[in-house]
Each structure stands twice: as structure tokens, then as C-alpha cells.
Structure 1
Amino acid sequence: MTLNPARPRSSAAPFAALLIAVLSFSLMQTMVVPALPDLQQEFRTSTTTTSWVLSAFLPTASVATALLGRVGDMFGRRRVLIASLVVFAIGTLLAALSTSMGMLIASRAVQGVGSAAFPLAFGIVRDQFPRERVPVAIGMISSTFGIGFGVGLVIPGPIIDTLSWHWVFWLGLVVILVGIAAVAVFIEESPSRSPGRIDWPGVILLTDGIVALLLTISQGKSWGWGSAGVIGLFTAAVVLLGVFVVMEGRVREPLIDMELLRRPAVATSHVAALIIGFGMYGAFTLVPLLAQTPSKAGYGFDASVTESGLFMVPMAVTMLIASPVAGRLGAALGWKLPLVLACLIGLAGFVVYAVAHDTEWTMYVGSAVLGIGVGFAFAALANLVVSAVDPRQMGEATGINTIMRTIGGSLGAQIAATVVASHVITGTRVPAESGYTTAFTMSAIALGVAAVAALAGPGTLRRSTSPAPAVVPAVELRGPSTGRARGDSTTG
């Protein structure tokens, strides 16, 4: 089968459609964050209960990413992408209409289905775009995840100040509906298929395991990391995910091919995604909080919600610029180099945060540097996976990579917040400056570990021979135990 044949029509419109689709999801991850104080006050609930507005989104997003990525491989990625966006739109509509905290939390859980947009979009790009454009396109789509995350912290401030928190969801719904229309009009159905059946026992085990793990992460601060509830949930997560791994290696048509995860390029990408997510996502929440700190505390900039979001704008801008650069660099020299550079550049950004957060301009510089690292990381991680698997395994492979990044980001954000909260100015509830310094240093160390992990992966930092095509069709093999088609790894 010939992959990514050159088409006479331009790929600009399909690419724009995919960007809108994934942007609609990435925006809604954080657009609700500035509204949390208003929600807590309006519904008269505790901080722990209000945090579920964020937490409920994560379990369904993680499971939907793996499940619908696999379903897209089986039944057609365009069809499943539209279906996931429709469910996402329904969840957003329900959130906009919510009149209780319970209804809002349930709506946010439904919204998590939209996470499938990322692995499905990667598959569509590989199937339908000209081969030479695939790395750059995947890099741009990957960075939309981070761009939407950052921009989602900026936009809601003026909306909440002038209207209400309901309008955050109405605005998000408009973007989703535009994305659905664009995909329906401009995207063709993917030609590749991976026939099979859904491994429902695997779905249940994966769902329960991820829910237990993310609950452990999200509730650790409020319940206490050493509490019986947190320890019990973590133990349950380890057991459930362990049983899942064992079962997936024995069933004929697993939800996730364990052999696929053992390929060096794929494994390196997943480990790096976990560590990078841990290191980088703390900044998305800590920087606005630091900016909002009253200057009488000895640091901080007395920023409003809207003003604090502006500290993330340089990160979004440099991500947008860095992604295509990383795509071209990876296509020419292999994906190991941009991944290592991503970790080192991200490390430098966190060093700036840690040692020079006393003035606004240095914080902007730190955000800009970190944005370059994030842009390189997202482009390299996705392309490492895409170039190493058979097209029929795109959904599950990229889905797991997104899950690893989500889990790492959730863990990093929670631990960073815990570190900051554990350092307070004596006699007050205001976090001490040392808490932020420690948290930023911790993220810098994590990026250093990720750089080591990337260096330990397969390949060299620069190809010594002529570069291989951006996407190489994998050699189809028949696994003796699973009966599924498998491909050999091909990566730089």
C-alpha cells in the first residue's frame, strides 16, 4: 500500500480543519481554570469538590484516547473523529447549561472524549498528506495541545469579568462546532484499516486503572499523600494496570499491542512523554499563580486573572514557531536530536524561572524559552511514534503517548502545587517564594532526566547517511501469538 500519495488538491484546508479540531479540545482543558473561584463561590462548595471540575476531565480523556484511537484504526479515522467531537460538543453544551456542581462535573467527564482528536488527527495526516509535509504537520498539531493549554488560561479572564463562567463553555462550543464542520467538509476518510474486535475486558481494566491512578494524583494533596485512601487507590491502580498488561499479552486482539510498546523508539517516546509532561505542565499552573501573588509578599506582580494569563503568551508564540522548525530538523536528521534539544531548552527555561522570577521581563523570557522546548518536544514525540509503527497501529500508539503525557502532566502539576503549598510565609497562607523556586528547580531536574532518557534511546543525534523518508511504511509481519499485523520499527 502506498502511503501519503501526493494529491493534486492543496492540503491547506484539511490541515486547518485538523488544527481547529484539536485546538477545540486543548483550549477546553484550561479555559475552566480561571473560573474555579467563581464556581466555588456560586455553588458554595469546598475547594476539593471544585477541583473535580478539572479532575473529572482526565480519566475519560485518557481512556478515550486509547479506545477511540483503536476504533479509528478499525472503522475509519474521519468517522470516529467526527463522532468524538460530537460527544465533546454535547458535554460542552451540558456544561454551559449546568445549574449544579454535580451536573458540571459530569459534563466535564463527557468532554474528555474529545481527547481522541489527537491520535485520530495524527493518523489522518500520515494517511493523506504528502510525505514530505507529514513531520511538520504532526509537529504543528502536537504543539496545538500546548498552545491551547496556554491560551486557555488567557482568554477566559475578560469573559468571566464581563459576562459569566457559562460563556467560557459557550465560546468553546462555537470552536468545537466549527471544527466538526471543517472536518466533515475538508477531510477524506482514511484508506487504512485494522479489522478486529474491541477488547472490552481490556477497556474496563484500563479505565479502572487510569481512574484509580489519576484520582490518586488529583486527590493526594487534599486527602494527604500518606492517607489510607490515597495508598489504597494507588495500590488498586498498580494491580489493575498490571493485570491489564498481563491480559493484553494473552488475548488475540488486544486493545494495546504490548509488543508494540516494547519497540525501542516507541518505548523511548513514551518514557520521555511521561517525564516531559511531569516537568513542563507545572509551569502552566504555577506561573499564573506566581504572577497573581501580591508584591507585599516580597515577590509576585499583583496581576489580575487576565494579566497573569499574559505571562503564558510568549510560550504559545514560540511553540507555534518552534514546531515546524523541529519537524524539518527531525525529517532531515532524525527525531532523536530535536527530542534531546527539547529537554535541554526546556531545562534552560525552568532555570530562568527558578533564578530570575523577580521581574516581569525575565518571566516572559523564561516562558518564551520554555515554549521552544515544548514545541520541539511535542513535534519530536509524536513523530517518533508515527515513524515507528504500521499505519494500522497509529491510533493505539499515539493514544498511549498522549496518555503518558497526560499522566505525567497531572502528576507534575499536583506535585508542583503541593511543593508550593508546603512553603508558606509564617503567619499567613501566602506561599513563600522558596516554594516556587523549589518547584521550578524540580521541573528543571525532570527535564534533565528526560534528556538522559532521550539520549539512551535508539538512533544517533545525526544521521550519517542520506535521510530516510519522513514516514517509512513498516514491513508487515504476523505475530505468532496474537494474529495481528505488526510492523518493524523505522525511525531515525
Structure 2
Amino acid sequence: MTQTQAAAGRRGSTTADHRPNRVTLIGIGALLVVLTNAVIFILPPLLPVIQAQYGLATVAETTWLYTVLTLGGGAGFILLPRLADLYGDRNANVAAAAFLTVGALVPAVGDSYPTLLVGCSLMGFGGAAQVLPLGFLRRGLGEGGIAVAVGVLVIGTGVGIVAGMIGGGLIVQSLSLQSFFVVLTAVSAVATLASYVLIPHLPPAERSGRIGALGTVWMIAWVAAILLTLTQGLVWGNAALIPLVLGVVGGVAWFRVERRSTTAVFDVALMKAPLVTASCICIALFAAVNSAFLLLVSTYAQIIPEALRPGDAYGLGLTALETGWLMLPFAVTFVIGGAIVDRPVNNGRVVPVFVIGALITAAGLAWLALAHDRQWHYLVGAAVIGLGCSIGYAAGFTLVQLAVREEKAGMATGAAGTCLAVGFAFGTALVSADLSASLVPVPGTTLEVAAESLYGVGYCVAGGLALAIVLTVLISTARTRRRTGRVAA
């Protein structure tokens, strides 16, 4: 029996008596995915408003918003999917949505920079709700649940990214910062209530399991140390090497201990399954490409060429709202890509799917490396990159889910989601370093922006990450064949 057939048989073991309404379950899953991604991507257009309203002296202070958001997300991706396995999908989703609600409420009431940092950390933790539908849709829909769950995740992510960027632009133009957090609190509260009412409260999927407290806290610590380096490395300089070394050493030691643990955070058998580790690495690389592309676009598009000296002038001079609309093709092709890969992945052709997705993404980035000074250049590039990234995400999350029984769906989601968070932070840090390599002054101000040539370099670097995906799956395939050959011999 093939891995896919076996997984299908396991999915069919869920009793039909407990099947919730299909449309309702998909609807609440889509709401959570769109909302959490919109929250993440609504912040970039708001950064100038935040800096001005709270009187922040440097841009470095505003980057702490991303740092605490990312650190909170790292903990949430590790913990919340596992809680869904052990304590029920409804409880985990209600907890995640409640963290989003409280996280938005804190700055809405406090209206200060410290309360905004606290709120972002709470919203980051609750942001793990974006991957929780992988678990409850798989368990709730039975046969075909994995395909639907991955489709909801990929499509909702694309829609949420663009909705967040457009929403951020609208808020900048028409709402105060405090009013925005009041609205976000209300929307998150609705999502919390909907999760409680619409997600069925079934017995926990894994009745006998438990969370290894030491392993979980240890993993959160080393992941947080690495994420801290990636998000604050440019600000701290050489001092950032301290959390990086602690994170790497702590991670290596954690892996060694977890291999012998009876309460491992992630089942060792899962990571040893064919292509699972490679899929997690590919998810991280696609996330890095995604974040790099979005940062390059949003930065270049909003620079006003007339504000720079003639020899340094570049940019499109777009508003935050116009930049959001520029990303619309990205969301459209994200929907298409996520819908076309289910059959080939379930038929065991995941390697060609990864390669095709990576090559499409690399082609879009190569296009933008050569042509990125007109709006239509970005419309074309966004469409191509969105298609490639969605193909890669869908293949990665599907394969990881196929490797486990449905009672461990949350654990598999946590492994993939953690890689997603790390990859996104890595891509952002990489492009931030690139755009800081050479700066030009903005006359009449104390501001500096990246030299125009660095954008082409940034797209080339992102393209290299896409090609690294091809290398990853080819190496993994070769190792699997060698291992299979030794066993057969």
C-alpha cells in the first residue's frame, strides 16, 4: 500500500456520526486564515503612522513590533497545534482567537508604544490560528480533508496578504491608529465566538499523549533566540551573534535529546518519513522568498523619486493603498496554484511539484531583477511569484500531513508552521541587510533610503533561495534512494 493510500485509509477512520457541517467548517477555517495573515501584513503600511504618533526616534524602534510579533508567533506555532491534538480543536482555536482579541484590545485601550509591543506579542502567539484549520478540517471532513485544509490555508493566505496590505492603506487614509485596533478587537472577538460556536467539541484526537514541558519550553527558547537574531541582527551588530550561537547550540542539543525522549515535541518518526524534513525546509525557503519579495516591493513602490537627488532618483511614488492593489495578482494566482497541485502530490509526484513551483518562483524573481521600475513590471512579477509560492506551500503542507495519522495532525502542523515562521523571519532579515548595504540621503530630511541597485541584488538573492528548494528536494530524493537501496540489499 502506498503512503498516500494508507493515509487515506486512516482519514476514513473518523466516524461519520460526528461530521460537522462542511461549509460551516470551511468557512470558519477560511476566516481564521485570512484574519491572521491580514493582521501580519497590515502592519507595514502603518509603520510611518506608528513612528509619528508615538514619537519614535529611530526606525530601529519600530522593528521591535516585528520582533515581538515573530517571537510570539514562534511560540504559538510550536504550542497551539499540539494543544489541538491533546485538548481538542475547538479549545485550541478559541484560545488562539482570544489571544488575537486581547492582543488588539491592549493597544486599543492603552494607545501607547509599550502597550502596542505587548499587544503585538499576544497577537503573534494567536497568529498560529492560521495553521490550526489544517487539523480541524482534516479531522472534521474525513476523506479529502487534507486537500481541502491545504487549499483553505494556501488560498486564505494569499487573500489575507493582499487584504492586509490594502486594509493598511485604507486605515492610513481614513482611520486613526486607535480606531484601527478597536475595529480589529471587534473582528477578532467575532472570530473567537465563531470558533466556539462552529467548531465541534469532539474528544481529543490523541487521548493518551501529553506535552513534554521541558522539550517544548526548550524548543521555544532556541527558536526564539534565532528569530531574535534574524529580526534585530542589523540593529545589534556583532552582539546579535550571542543569541544566534545560543540558538544554534541549543537547537542541536535539543535535537539530540528529543531523539531519545518518550514525550518528544515532534515525533522522530515523522521527521524520518520520506521527504518530510525536505518539505519543512522547502516551506521555510518559500516563506523566505515570500517575505523577501513583499519587502522589496513595498519599499521600492512607496519611494517618491522627486524627493531624491536626480542621480539617485528611483521609485514609483505610490501610496500604501496603491501598493496593496499592486499585489492583487499575487492573491489571484495564489488561489490557482493551491488548487492544481492536490492530485499530483497525492499521486506521489511531490518532487516534480516542488521543482516546478521553485522554478516558476525563480522566473518571477529573475524578471523583477531585470525590470522593476514600472507598475506593470510588478503586476507580472507578482502573478508569477504568487503562482510558484502557492504551489510550493500546498505541496509542503500536504506531504507533511500525509505522513501522520489524523490524531497527530496538530503535531505535523506545528513542525511545518515553525519552519514557516523561521523562514519568513530569515527572508525579511536577508533583504533588510541587502537594503542597508548602501544608503542615499533624502534631501531636506535626516532620512536615508537604499541605493537603487540593491533591489536587483535583492531579487537575485531571493531567486537563489528559490533555486535552493530544487537542490533540497534533489538531495533528499538521492538520499532516500540510497537508503532504500541499502535496505533492499
Give the shorter-chain TM-score range: 0.7 to 0.9
1:454 corresponds to which of 473, 478, 483? 473
Give the CA deviation at 1:458: 4.5
Q: Secondary structure at the match of 1:264?
A: coil
- Contact 1:95-1:103 at 8 Å conserved across structures: yes
Alignment of 1:458-477 (within 5 A): 458=477
1:238 corresponds to which of 245, 248, 257? 248
Give the CA deviation at 1:194: 4.4
Structure 1 residues without counterparts, runs of 5 or longer: 460-492
Does the C-alpha gap of structure 1 residues 340 and 70 become closer, same or farther in structure 2, counting only changes over 3 Å? same
Q: Which moved more, 1:53-62 or 1:159-168?
A: 159-168
- For residues 350 and 75 of structure 2, the distance between their equivalents in structure 1, rounded to whole angstroms, comes to 27
Indicate the percent of aligned positions where both proteins have the same amino acid.
25
Structure 2 residues without counterparts, runs of 5 or longer: 1-9, 307-311, 479-489
Give the CA deviation at 1:291: 0.7
2:370 corresponds to which of 355, 374, 399? 355
1:27 corresponds to which of 16, 35, 38? 38
- For residues 63 and 195 of structure 2, the distance between their equivalents in structure 1, rounded to whole angstroms, comes to 33
Q: Secondary structure at the match of 2:166?
A: coil
For each residue in 1:230-254, what CA deviation from the matched residue of structure 2 results, as whole angstroms up to 9, or x when unmatched? 1111111112222322222233212
Q: Which residue of 2 aligns with 1:173?
A: 185
2:221 corresponds to which of 204, 208, 213? 208
What is the Cα-based RMSD across aligned positions, in Å?
A: 2.2
Does the C-alpha gap of structure 1 residues 194 and 311 become closer, same or farther in structure 2, counting only changes over 3 Å? farther
Give the CA deviation at 1:322: 2.1
Matched, 1:432 2:444: no
Does the C-alpha gap of structure 1 residues 133 and 76 become closer, same or farther in structure 2, counting only changes over 3 Å? closer
Give the CA deviation at 1:383: 0.3
- For residues 207 and 275 of structure 2, the distance between their equivalents in structure 1, rounded to whole angstroms, comes to 22
Specify the code of the residue in structure 1 equivalent to 2:466.
L
Alignment of 1:34-433 (within 5 A): 34-45=45-56, 46-132=58-144, 134-190=146-202, 192-224=205-237, 227=238, 229-296=239-306, 297-332=312-347, 334-425=349-440, 429-433=448-452
Does the C-alpha gap of structure 1 residues 111 and 270 become closer, same or farther in structure 2, counting only changes over 3 Å? same
Q: Which moved more, 1:3-12 or 1:415-424?
A: 3-12
Q: Which residue of 2 aligns with 1:482?
A: none
For each residue in 1:95-139, what CA deviation from the matched residue of structure 2 results, as whole angstroms up to 9, or x when unmatched? 322332111101111112223324431111221214235314312
Q: Which residue of 2 aligns with 1:462?
A: none
Q: Which residue of 1 aligns with 2:5?
A: none
Q: Which residue of 2 aligns with 1:488?
A: none
Q: Secondary structure at the match of 2:265?
A: coil
Specify the code of the residue in structure 2 equivalent to 1:186.
L
Give the CA deviation at 1:190: 4.6
Give the CA deviation at 1:374: 1.8
- For residues 372 and 97 of structure 2, the distance between their equivalents in structure 1, rounded to whole angstroms, comes to 39
- Contact 1:124-1:190 at 8 Å conserved across structures: no
- For residues 268 and 106 of structure 2, the distance between their equivalents in structure 1, rounded to whole angstroms, comes to 37
Q: Secondary structure at the match of 2:327?
A: helix
Does the C-alpha gap of structure 1 residues 375 and 34 become closer, same or farther in structure 2, counting only changes over 3 Å? same
Specify the code of the residue in structure 2 equivalent to 1:431.
A
Q: Which residue of 2 aligns with 1:467?
A: none
Does the C-alpha gap of structure 1 residues 342 and 167 become closer, same or farther in structure 2, counting only changes over 3 Å? farther
Does the C-alpha gap of structure 1 residues 430 and 50 become closer, same or farther in structure 2, counting only changes over 3 Å? closer
Specify the code of the residue in structure 1 equivalent to 2:214.
P
- For residues 23 and 343 of structure 1, the distance between their equivalents in structure 2, rounded to whole angstroms, comes to 24
Give the CA deviation at 1:426: 7.7
Does the C-alpha gap of structure 1 residues 196 and 51 become closer, same or farther in structure 2, counting only changes over 3 Å? same
Tell me the TM-score normalised to structure 1 length: 0.87
Q: Secondary structure at the match of 1:3?
A: coil
Specify the code of the residue in structure 1 equivalent to 2:406.
P
Give the CA deviation at 1:61: 1.1
- For residues 219 and 310 of structure 1, the distance between their equivalents in structure 2, rounded to whole angstroms, comes to 30
Tell me the TM-score normalised to structure 2 length: 0.87
Q: Which moved more, 1:164-173 or 1:389-398?
A: 164-173
- For residues 198 and 298 of structure 2, the distance between their equivalents in structure 1, rounded to whole angstroms, comes to 37
Q: Secondary structure at the match of 1:430?
A: strand
Does the C-alpha gap of structure 1 residues 9 and 28 become closer, same or farther in structure 2, counting only changes over 3 Å? closer
- For residues 67 and 46 of structure 2, the distance between their equivalents in structure 1, rounded to whole angstroms, comes to 15
Does the C-alpha gap of structure 1 residues 298 and 333 become closer, same or farther in structure 2, counting only changes over 3 Å? farther
For each residue in 1:2-55, what CA deviation from the matched residue of structure 2 results, as whole angstroms up to 9, or x when unmatched? 435668875122101111012221111121221111212222223222211111
- For residues 359 and 5 of structure 1, the distance between their equivalents in structure 2, rounded to whole angstroms, comes to 55
Q: Which moved more, 1:177-186 or 1:60-69?
A: 177-186
Does the C-alpha gap of structure 1 residues 100 and 413 become closer, same or farther in structure 2, counting only changes over 3 Å? same
**Number of matched pairs:** 456
